[in-house]
Amino acid sequence: MPSSAEPPAATHHPIAVVGAGTLGRRLALMFASGGAEVRITDPVPGQIAEAVEFVSGHAAHAPGRVVAADSVKAAVDGAWLVVEAVPERLELKKWVFAELDRLTGSEVVLASNSSSFPTSRLIDGLAFPERVLNTHFYLPPLINAVEVMSSGRTSRAVMDKVLGALPEFGFTPLEVRAESTGFIYNRIWAAVKREALAVVAEGVATPEEVDLIYRLVVGVSSGPFRVMDQVGLDVVLDIENQYAAERDGLPEGPRGLLREYVGRGHLGVKSGRGFYNDYREGS
């Protein structure tokens, strides 16, 4: 068996995605479109079926394929790369990585898609922490940037392997050169998002008005509230709670507004309604 510092020689082996929600199914789409066999799993069986259907509907003639796996063990069998895409909760992610460390050989690369937890917080007690790293994806295939960050113990060989392989699947990887909560773009985006939420929470403008002026001034197709709906307001709230736990003095208003929507079950695109109500449920 290769040492834990050596990633596998071939990236044509399967890729496993743990978590079949909004992002997990999009990752499966990208990897399958690039020719990989993707094993996708989720504790909710219906999510797995929806993910496979999503990929079939968007890439019916992809050179790769997506396989439904009924357990994490089945998903990771034979994989060279495992990407975690579970909800943004630290204890859940730590449990997932402990399972992945137990179920896979030392040569398998383990990647977290976390947008707020650096993998240095996930590797305590792992047998092979040098094969663990962050791969923070955005919203493929619409936004294909990936921020790749070491845990501080990730081997250089693993970093280079992942940075070299991601373009094969249509991604543009950027290395985060020092550990950073929020990586590169999200540290900038967090300030924009938080202030947009504060403007609405204070009654200064509606979400639609904020998005309109943002699009007109910045010259983009979607404003902050439409983007938050796409990500999922429960996910946005989890991320904001994490920032607040690490940084004193962040305003409460933005998180309070998010809690109102999440409490009503208005999670954005995935529930059919968020800041906007023009979505088909499950689209």
DSSP letters spanning 133-195: EEEEEEETTTEEEEEEEE-SS--HHHHHHHHHHGGGGT-EEEEE-S--TTTTHHHHHHHHHHH
The pLDDT score that the predictor gives to residue 242 is 85
- What's the pTM? 0.79
Q: Which of 74, 114, 69, 187 is nearest to 123 (CA)?
A: 114
| Burial class for 252, CB neighbours closer than 10 Å (0-12, 13-18, 19+) | exposed
Spans of all domains in the chain: 15-176, 187-271
- pLDDT computed for residue 9 by the predictor: 43
What is the pLDDT, as a whole number, of residue 5?
45
CATH number of the domain at 15-176, please?
3.40.50.720
pLDDT of residue 219: 96
* DSSP secondary structure letter of residue 108: S
**Chain-centre distance of CA 266, in angstroms?**
20
Residue in this structure with the two tokens 């845990």, named with its chain if needed: 151
Fold annotation for 187-271: N-(1-d-carboxylethyl)-l-norvaline Dehydrogenase; domain 2 (1.10.1040)
Question: Which regions of the chain are under pLDDT 50?
Answer: 1-10, 282
15-176 and 187-271 share one CATH topology? no
